[in-house]
Amino acid sequence: MAKNDFLEVEIFGDRALVRNLEQMPAIVRVLLVEKARSWINAIEDRVRDNINSRLGEKTGKLSAALDSKVYEEDGMVRARVFFNDPKVEKYAKALEKGAVIPPHIIRPREGKILAFYAATGDKVFATQVFHPGAVIAGRHFMRDASRVGAAQLSRDIKNTVVQGIRRSMRGEV
What pLDDT does 168 receive? 81
Residue 145 φ then ψ, to 5°: -65, -35
More confident residue, 140 or 157: 140
**Out of 7-11, 58-62, 145-149, which region has the weakest mean confidence (pLDDT)?**
7-11
pLDDT in tens, 33-89: 888 888 888 889 999 999 988 887 677 888 889 999 888 777 677 888 899 998 888
5's CB contacts (< 8 A; 6+ apart) are none
Given a cut of 90, is residue 125 above it in pLDDT?
yes
More confident residue, 72 or 99: 99
More confident residue, 134 or 13: 134
Residue 3 has, within 13 A of its CA and on its CB side, a CA count of 3
Q: Cβ(77)–Cβ(13) under 8 Å?
A: yes
Counting residues of the chain whose pLDDT is more than 90, the rounded percentage is: 27
Q: What is the DSSP string of 158-171?
A: HHHHHHHHHHHHTT
3-state secondary structure 73-91: ECCEEEEEEEECCHHHHHH
Predicted TM-score (pTM) of the model is 0.70
